[in-house]
Amino acid sequence: MLCVTAGCLSSGKDAVPLDTSPYSDRFGEKVLVFDDTMDPEGIKMTLQALHEQQKYNEFGSERYALLFKPGTYNFDVTVDYYMQAMGLGRYPGQVTINGAVQSITSTSSNNIPNKVTTMFWRGAENFKVVPKDGEMLYWAVSQAAPYRRMHVVGHINFDKGSWASGGLLANALVEGRAGLTSGQQWMTRNSSIGLWEGGHWNRVFVGVDGAPKDTWPDQPTTVIDTTPVIREKPFLTFTPSGDYAVFVPALHRDTSGPTWINQDEEGELLPIRSFHIAYPDQDNAASMNQALANGKHILLTPGIYTLDETLTITRPNTVILGLGLPTLIPQNGLIAVATDDIPGVKLAGFMVDAGAELSSTLIQIGPSDADADYTDNPISLHDIYCRVGGAVVGQAETAITINSNYVIGDHFWLWRADHGVGTEWRDGQNKHGLIVNGDHVTIYGLFNEHFQAYQTLWKGEHGRTYFYQSEIPYHPPSNAVWNDEGKPGFASYKVADTVQHHEAYGLGIYSFFSGKSTISNKVRLENAMEVPDHSGIEIKHISTFAGRYGGINHVINGLGPSTEVGELKLFDGFKGKE
């Protein structure tokens, strides 16, 4: 157990465990709550201890949330694996950090320093950050590491000058320069930035004031002026009356810039008493399902929850919100979370690891016969991460299945592990990251990697994707094993032949084949994307890259140049026949 005193960090004397520390609150020992009347040296010591414990803890079981009550703090907040740092103000300016809210841990390999390609699973939300002496702020990350609802009074870089593979800036204001040195891709949505610089393979800006010019194909930049429909992520706040509540932002259409910029943000404030606060050492699926049946929302505190029942959401407008990246693991081949075909459900801020027995899907939105129209109150999912392997050996045929109509996805990372445990080709039947059967589904920031068939399979009508990042699997044994009705491999992004209307913007699809069998059998991928040739199909801006061995024969539908090892190819896109 982490300790929070100087004695703990040095000689071990007078150590104070977190469950009896001054930072504990009603949310348990892994949620540390700070206010600006507390001793700043004690807070800094605690943050440093967490940094040392978590900075390389990629597949550990510890989870932490760092919550800062309204006030002003004069130190750096460093965020590492399975840590969420969050200001508890109603608006970012109510929690000011004079210093940094940062991710700075990196690794080195093959004599390449400052790699952050595996700096995953962390997040920062709802702060105003004033860097010291105009210094550059670093949020050097890759997937599953959003920087949300932030106000940076200065400059920020999203890598440390070497390899990076992220990430997401959303609902944020950066007064100065934002950008990348060498990062592969980045998604920015509903933000305002002074200037953007840098980036390599794929960068997408949706509803961003100050976005760079769309210079494709000279530079891999895609700019969409307004966000067609969005509900921002719900968040925990500390009210002036001295209690907690969860703010659920309203649905918006055709927007640009942050929702909070004029401090007149629309939405609903849910009192904490309307939530069942779940703890991993006290709650199970039965207790949470009973709370849901009783009309409660769920607040998941940090930790790992093994589920011997599916968490089933039957009431409209239910919120399940995670603090500190809580992780659900379904048992006995079950689905972890399933919703009825109902309006207004919000799922946010948690992870699902596949269990040892094969699940048909890890998250199911709506039953298979869902057909309702909830245009004005859609289901929305925010910062949802699913893993098959990596931390635990697991199996899931699909990570997320969306059957309902009018669903909004706001940042997914769906990952069949390429390192850690359970990564062998025959470790499970792990076909798809995402299947969309519903109509009018819109997803912003879809990261989907390494599954054994189509990473994304879209069957619903009027679907839209804004930013896509996908590495196809590393180790298929051969194209004799890995093929789609004779075609080498499976397209990463597949729109079913029956679909008449689909849009996708800013897609990066990459091959990094490796492994003795893969190399000796010269495995390749035929098409990065496959879509029907119908007049309502529009795909804009596809980048492909090939690394290590093999390559990609075509970009989309047998069109576009091949991509060989070391090559980046930029393709304008595809428009179906009129």
Query: Which CATH number does the domain housing residue 187 bear?
Result: 2.160.20.10
Three-state SS at 82 = coil
The pLDDT value given to residue 2 = 60
The pLDDT value given to residue 1 = 53
| 493 plus 345 within the same structural domain | yes
- Candidates 58, 449, 471, 530; catalytic one: 471
| Domain-ending residue, one of 205, 231, 257 | 231
The DSSP-derived string for 441-480 is: -EEEEEEEE--SS-SEEE-SSSEEEEEEEEEPPS----TT
| Domain-ending residue, one of 214, 231, 248 | 231
Cβ-proximal residues to 445 (8 Å cutoff; 6+ apart), any chain: 168, 170, 187, 189, 409, 410, 411, 412, 466, 467
**Percent composition of the chain: helix, strand, coil (DSSP 3-state, to 5):** 10, 45, 45
Asked whether residue 259 is domain-assigned, the answer is no
CA distances from 420 to 180, 213, 520 (A): 28, 40, 24
Please give the Cα distance from 85 to 79 (Å, whole number): 7
| 227 plus 305 within the same structural domain | no
| 472 plus 389 within the same structural domain | yes
Which residue's entry shows tokens 């967490």? Answer: 50
| 427 plus 548 within the same structural domain | yes
| 170 plus 314 within the same structural domain | no
Asked whether residue 414 is domain-assigned, the answer is yes
| 365 plus 512 within the same structural domain | yes
Per the CB < 8 A criterion, the answer to whether 319 and 342 are in contact is no
CA 311 to chain centre: 21
Three-state SS at 522 = coil
Please give the Cα distance from 260 to 263 (Å, whole number): 5
Please give the Cα distance from 101 to 161 (Å, whole number): 18
| 351 plus 493 within the same structural domain | yes
Which residue's entry shows tokens 């990372």? Answer: 413
Asked whether residue 214 is domain-assigned, the answer is yes
Please give the Cα distance from 81 to 97 (Å, whole number): 21
Please give the Cα distance from 309 to 277 (Å, whole number): 18
Q: Output the six-digit token pair for 8.
A: 């703990």
| 213 plus 308 within the same structural domain | no
Per the CB < 8 A criterion, the answer to whether 447 and 422 are in contact is no
Number of folded domains that form the chain: 2
Successive 10-residue mean pLDDT values, the chain, 578 residues: 46 42 91 97 96 97 98 98 98 98 92 90 98 95 98 97 91 97 94 94 97 92 98 97 97 98 96 98 98 98 98 98 98 98 98 97 98 97 98 96 98 97 87 98 98 98 98 96 96 98 98 91 96 98 95 97 96 92
Domain range holding 342? 301-575
The pLDDT value given to residue 316 = 98
Asked whether residue 258 is domain-assigned, the answer is no
Which residue's entry shows tokens 């039947």? Answer: 429
Active site residue 503: no
The pLDDT value given to residue 131 = 97
| 363 plus 222 within the same structural domain | no
| 210 plus 85 within the same structural domain | yes
Q: Output the six-digit token pair for 395.
A: 């199996």
Asked whether residue 265 is domain-assigned, the answer is no
Nearest CA-CA partner of 68 in 50, 49, 92 = 92
| 359 plus 474 within the same structural domain | yes
Asked whether residue 178 is domain-assigned, the answer is yes
Cβ-proximal residues to 261 (8 Å cutoff; 6+ apart), any chain: 173, 192
**Cβ-count burial of 301 within 10 angstroms (0-12 exposed, 13-18 middle, 19+ buried)?**
buried
**Cβ-count burial of 49 within 10 angstroms (0-12 exposed, 13-18 middle, 19+ buried)?**
middle
| 98 plus 181 within the same structural domain | yes
Please give the Cα distance from 190 to 177 (Å, whole number): 16
| Domain-ending residue, one of 186, 202, 231 | 231
Nearest CA-CA partner of 279 in 264, 258, 263, 298 = 298
Helices and strands counted in the chain (H then E): 4, 51
The maximal CA–CA distance of the chain, rounded, in angstroms, is 76
Please give the Cα distance from 182 to 195 (Å, whole number): 17
Asked whether residue 292 is domain-assigned, the answer is no
Three-state SS at 268 = strand
Q: Output the six-digit token pair for 412.
A: 């997914």
The pLDDT value given to residue 427 = 75
Query: Structure pTM?
Result: 0.96
